[in-house]
Amino acid sequence: MPRLEFIADFLRRLRRDTGGNVALLLGLMAVPLIFAAGVGIDYGRAVQFKTQLQSIADSAALAGANEFVSCSSQTTGTTAATNYVTKAVAALPPHGTLTPTYTPGPSSCGGSTAAFTMQVTLATTMPTTLMSLWKSSLPITTTATATNPVVTGTFDTGNFVSYACDTNVVYWYVVPPGGGVPAASAMNQLWSNNNSSPTSNVTFQIAASQKIGFAMKNITGARPTNLGGCNYGNNMYGAQPGDTQWLYSSLQPPSASYNIAPGGANTGTHGVYETNQDCALVVVKGTPGHGNGRGNNGNGNGNQAWNFADPPQGSCYTTSGSGENTNNDDGSICYGCGSGPKMATEMTNAAPSCSQLGGTPYQYNWNDMGASQDSLNYGNDMQYQFSCSGGSSGSGSGNGTTTSGLTLTN
């Protein structure tokens, strides 16, 4: 009995003793508190990781759409998106296996295409820390869709009249991905002075990110006299009557491959043209004018009037802006005597994409480098404006007045 009374008394005293309860409760609460904190930390890491992954998906979609410019370039666009993801994920924090999905659209082309799109979906997992007691990893998925709208390019001569003795023909072409001379199949004729009624306005459809160039085919002294041509003999560079030279706006200078025709064949010209100086093309940016439609000497774009400054005359342009050929007062050439604007400045947007132009028209002023003495007179042998419209609403239908270019639509 004494032993039983002792035990009963001990239990009664233990029940009345409240010392250490707080420590006991804290000990019991510590487990869920630590777990909750771990959950918060892991979810915070997951949110930060998803932001990084979303940025990669966005940029990859834009990279893919930028290269997806025609129905035949789906693979090129997908490769560009894939390459971007491959390089970018290397900088991510530790994560599970990444599963990318690339979906170009449209999957096939028929009739008119409003836009080319690239959707990139990235799915992976992120390992947890304290939360691993409940879940070893968190699933992370991001999706981005970029749109490359199909827009309308407009070539407008403004009723330009050519006084050149040479035959000059102007083309537009898609700039080759690796640069250089375009393929013969890429050439699209816009205008020729070998015609009594040359075309004054041409429109064509093209993806907003696609770079386009302009080429002038020059044939020495070949323009018929009834159209204003004349046979003046050899020109200043040694080209003989009937010789053909090519000038490409995507090359700097345009005469860099003057003796190479589209496709790579040598023209056989006797001339030796400048290959380190731009003596052929000056590009002038339009500035908003007042009124409705066409400006003083500009191209109308919707209801906006545009004006163009007179192009500079009498000089070639080098990469450095020094050592440039210039005209003397008597019309002769002073070789390497001048200094002024650099070639890149005078050829800004000589081979642009419509998204680069941003709805602003540019004027292209050509000197065909002909005559017995090159006058370096830009805009005398050919002058036209080029602008783009459509795509501003995201539909790429060509009904807008500006070009938005590449956009993230999702």
Task: Name 192's Cβ contacts closer than 8 Å, sequence gap at least 6.
Answer: 167, 168, 169, 170, 198
What mean pLDDT, rounded, does the chain reach? 85
pLDDT at residue 196 in the model: 87
220 and 118 within one domain: no
Together in a domain, 171 and 284: yes
Last-in-domain residue among 112, 129, 148: 148
Using an 8 Å Cβ cutoff, are 309 and 286 in contact?
Answer: no
Give a yes or no: residue 10 inside a domain.
no
Counting beta carbons within 10 angstroms of the beta carbon of residue 404, is it exposed (0 to 12), middle (13 to 18) or buried (19 or more)? buried
Segment 270-296 shows an average pLDDT of 82
pLDDT at 331: 75
- The answer to whether 218 and 246 have CB atoms below 8 angstroms apart is yes
pLDDT confidence of residue 222: 94
Same domain, 203 and 140: no
Q: Do 186 and 55 reside in the same domain of the chain? A: no
Domain count, the chain: 2
Share of the chain above pLDDT 90, in %: 57
Dihedral (CA of 361, 394, 49, 47) sign: positive
Given this model, what pLDDT does residue 29 score?
Answer: 58
Q: Would residue 12 count as lying in a domain?
A: no
* Residue at 86: amino acid letter: T
Of 135 and 99, which is predicted with more confidence? 99
Under the banding of pLDDT at 50, 70 and 90, the label for residue 24 is low
Domain co-membership, 293 together with 144: no
> Does the structure show a pLDDT above 90 at 45?
no
Q: Could you tell me if residue 121 is inside a domain?
A: yes
d(CA 21, CA 12): 16
Could you tell me if 246 and 343 lie in one domain? yes
Give the least confident one: 4-18, 198-212, 324-338: 4-18
Tokens of 351: 């081979």
Mean pLDDT in residue range 378-388? 94
pLDDT digits (tens, 9 = 90+) for 217-272: 999 999 999 998 888 999 999 999 999 999 999 999 999 999 999 999 999 999 99
* Whether this model's pTM surpasses 0.85: no
- In this structure, are 259 and 131 located in the same domain? no
Residues 106 and 123 reside in one and the same domain: yes
For the residues 323-346, what does the mean pLDDT come to? 90
Handedness of CA 101, 102, 107, 111 (dihedral sign): positive
Please tell me whether residues 126 and 165 are part of one structural domain: no
Residues 100 and 192 in one domain: no
Residue 295 has what pLDDT? 41
Would residue 9 count as lying in a domain?
no
**How confident is the model at residue 397, as a pLDDT?**
40
Domain-embedded: residue 6: no
- Residue 397 structure tokens: 């239908």
Confidence of residue 188 (pLDDT cuts 50, 70, 90): very high
Is residue 380 assigned to a domain? yes
Flag whether pLDDT at 395 surpasses 50. no
| Closest by Cα among 259, 318, 254 to 281 | 254
How far separated are the first and last CA of the chain, in Å rounded?
A: 83
Residues 6+ apart with CB under 8 A from 33: none
At 43, which amino acid appears?
Y
Q: Which domain holds residue 165?
A: 157-408
Asked whether residue 35 carries a pLDDT value surpassing 60, the answer given is: no
Of the listed ranges 257-271, 288-302, 358-372, the one predicted with least confidence:
288-302
Instruction: Kindly list the distances between the CA atom of residue 184 and the CA atoms of 67, 147, 260, in Å, as whole numbers in the listed order.
Output: 21, 29, 11
Indicate if 142 and 161 belong to the same structural domain. no
pLDDT of 1 reads 55
pLDDT tens digits, one per residue of 54-83: 999 999 999 999 999 888 888 999 999 999
Task: Give me the DSSP letters along 222-266.
Answer: -S-GGGT----SS-TT-PPTT-EEEEETTSSSGGGGTTB-TTS-B
Strands (E), 30-112: 99-105
Give the end of a domain, one of 116, 148, 180.
148
What local confidence, expressed as pLDDT, does residue 71 receive? 82
Residue ending a domain, among 121, 148, 175, is 148
In this prediction, residue 70 carries a pLDDT of 85
Residue 398 pLDDT more than 60? no
Q: What is the model's pLDDT at position 17?
A: 58
Residue 91 lies in a domain: yes
Q: Which of 25-34, 218-227, 316-325 has the lowest mean pLDDT?
A: 25-34
**Do 213 and 173 fall within a single domain?**
yes
Q: Is residue 14 part of a domain?
A: no
